[in-house]
Amino acid sequence: MRRFPLILGIATVAAFVVPLAAGSTALPVARAASRVAIRDGSTPETAVFPNDKFTVADPRQLSGRRINLPVPTCTSANYSICDGLRLLNQIDGFDLQPRILIPFTGAIQLDSVNSDTVFVQGPDGSRTGLRQIVWNPATSTLTGNTTAFLREDTRYTIVITTGVLDAAGYPIAAGRRVAFTTLSGTTELDRLRKSLDAGTAYQQSGATHDVSFTQGSITTVFPVTDAQFITRNDQVSADPSKPLVSSMVLNSAVTGVGCYAFGSFESPQFVTSDAVIPQVPTTQTPPALSKARLGFAMIVPAGVPPAGGWPVAVYGPGFTRSYFDLFLTSDFNAAAGIATVATDPLGHGFGPASTISVGPPGAVTTFKSYGRGRASDGDGIIGDTEGVQPSDHKTVVNGKVVADLPSHNALVGLRDGLIQTTVDNMALVRSIEHGITVPGCAGQSVPLARTNVEYYGLSFGGIYGTMLLGTDPHVRVGYLNSGGGPIVDIARLSGFRNLLAAQLQVSRPDLLNGGPGLNGFTEDIPLPDDPRITNPHPGSALLAEYLNNAIWLERSGGPEPYAPLLRLRPRYGPKTVEFLNAFGDATVPNFTLGNVIRAGDLFDRLTYYRNDKTPTASSDPHGFLEDPRLAGREPAETQLTAFLASHGNTVLPLPAPVFETPIVNHDNLLCLHYAEPETGGTVYPPSAAGECPPVAPEPHGHPAAGVVVTTSGGVTTATVTGAQLAGAQLAATGSGVTLPALGLAAMLAALGFRRARLARRSRARA
């Protein structure tokens, strides 16, 4: 069985860092006669930052500005700095949750820094303070991230008042107001979507909307009896003579299924071979460079479809995963009359020679799976994500890597791979809308509905699903599981920190700085609920600057800027969404989920799975929606199906205390619920007692069972008031609870789907 942590998400090889001033030394504490002042130098580390003085006017940009950071002299020892500056100097503004840097001429009283004395002000007068504060006594520099997520393409002002005191208790010499302009974070993806709908991208690439269920003389549609005979054969070597690696595909989606179909469609491609979308000014649209034929898996319901065809839900797989995960995340969809389809993210599915074998021994049909991975880094191996981000370049001698150099596009990280993957799902939606009929499904040709396509995704799929819902007016309902951002923070705080460390080491210069942190580096970036750091470890300032600038450049390829478009500031009308996440997720940490939820003010749309209150509490709960080993899988899938079947109008309540619908304590999204890896603690299982804010007290005993149904904004939410659901009683155990067997029939009956579906079939027969 494959492991279930589903997202890695790292900013690959090193890139931009702003070096500290050469020969920096500790500055003396200011005396009353020479009060401490705010520095105003000519480099980003000696002036308040971000700062529009490090931009130039550019009428080709939506913001009217373009980044213009000074470029140092670069050599073979530090060329990643120049590469990063080249990339940053192409974009049209500063980060949307920026790291504010304030350099002083001497020491200050850190407790005088608060939301009244240092803040960022918007054009409407709104203010946000700073959190995750670090004071570096060696350079007399204060850094901290804005508490709020800022608006795109907007001019803000950093305000530092004389309420900040120096070490002797005197006000600093003078306050300062510094203006900066934020980037246009969602514009590029929105323009690519418009290019699809205008037909421009299809004309440029030669792609069509046509869908195929054939390969040569083979029709790739199979009966339910073949469900236990699906094998994936993965190309993991660049050498075509090497054998494929085969594994059985797990399939729990059998109830109500008419057939399993494997097809393909075409999608315009905007990325180069290095997984980069060439930067153009934000008033322009990047051209489609080519087309790709992408494979997909589909599960089609049994029976007579309603007029217009079976409704369709698109599933988005996670990082390192593939469309085969569809068979573990759609157990109840077919029985509820929903056809489900999934395609691979960019760079996933292993090599293009990968195949699928379906059928019992003696009657096996084998055909292409359209794997999207490629051998790009020179080691001869095709990984399960190779091609979704810029690759470093290895030199291999006798099977051993003897040299490894970073890509010149390293700082792009997963940004453009996520944007292209979102475009691919948009293209899939448009192919469905163009019209799909599945041939030979249970002896008939089965049409799919062309309208109201819905979406759900897990992990990486939850990330690009947020991007999809934020920018695509064709998709209005979405169920998003285990996503988060920024991706750089996911990498450094998760169990995949070691892979980020490997990329930091490849950087020119090497950014590993030692210290107590796991995997050879200590970044000294506190979480929001951590104490302020006042004595950072050597090298951490440079490393933190690299990581924060990687977040800045990658921001448009993450979920945070798209979250406000779901409901707060909808560009194409509000979307109906439900988020599903787990306490103590060690792959996409709760803190990164919180960034998305806060950016979109979506706490009331979050179901929180309390894995810590189940018998599987010692496991990373990240992939619980598809992992049959975890206690919360079946209830979560019933909620998923109910949400999709009702077109987002019903959020099925799940049994407390294992599930909170919605989340009870918002502060649970400010921490990790396990020891922070940058302190040298163990990443998992969670064991940091007292590290996280206390969970709100829970009521004693269990009140009488019942369900309260409320409607707000057209969305009906059913809230459990007792410990029962559809007649299934929770049984307390010593280590948690035993979850009820939430059967499909009970779930459908509770929501009236059985009656509705029978009526629909009667109409179809008539």
Render 583-616 in DSSP notation, one character per residue.
TT-SSS-HHHHHHHHHHHT-GGGEEEE-GGGSTT
Beta carbons of 434 and 293 less than 8 angstroms apart: no
Beta carbons of 300 and 446 less than 8 angstroms apart: yes
* C-alpha–C-alpha distance, residues 677 and 489, integer Å: 12
Tens digits of per-residue pLDDT, 429-455?
A: 999 999 999 999 999 999 999 999 999
Please compute, for residue 102, the number of CA atoms within 13 A of its CA located in the half-sphere on the CB side: 32
Q: What pLDDT, on the 0 to 100 scale, is given for residue 19? A: 36
Contacts of 559 (CB under 8 A, 6+ apart): 462, 463, 464, 466, 467, 483, 484, 485, 596
Q: What pLDDT, on the 0 to 100 scale, is given for residue 515? A: 96
Beta carbons of 528 and 672 less than 8 angstroms apart: no
Tens digits of per-residue pLDDT, 144-160?
A: 999 999 999 999 999 99
Residue 402 is inside which H or E element, if any?
A: strand 400-405
Shortest CA distance to 289 belongs to which of 276, 307, 302, 300? 276
Structural domains of the chain in order of their starting residue, each with its CATH number: 52-93+97-182+493-555 (2.60.40.1220), 187-450 (no CATH), 558-765 (no CATH)
Please compute, for residue 270, the number of CA atoms within 13 A of its CA located in the half-sphere on the CB side: 28
The model carries a pTM of 0.89
Beta carbons of 524 and 134 less than 8 angstroms apart: yes
Q: What pLDDT, on the 0 to 100 scale, is given for residue 686? A: 59
Integer distance in angstroms from the first to the last C-alpha of the chain?
Answer: 46
Q: What pLDDT, on the 0 to 100 scale, is given for residue 597? A: 98
* C-alpha–C-alpha distance, residues 549 and 585, integer Å: 25
Q: What pLDDT, on the 0 to 100 scale, is given for residue 728? A: 27
Contacts of 393 (CB under 8 A, 6+ apart): 377, 378, 404, 405, 406, 407
Residue 506 is inside which H or E element, if any?
A: helix 497-506
Q: Is 298 helix (H, G, I), strand (E, B) or coil?
A: strand
Beta carbons of 493 and 447 less than 8 angstroms apart: no
Intervals of the chain under pLDDT 70? 1-33, 685-766
Pairing of the two strands 118-121 and 127-128: antiparallel
Contacts of 568 (CB under 8 A, 6+ apart): 600, 601
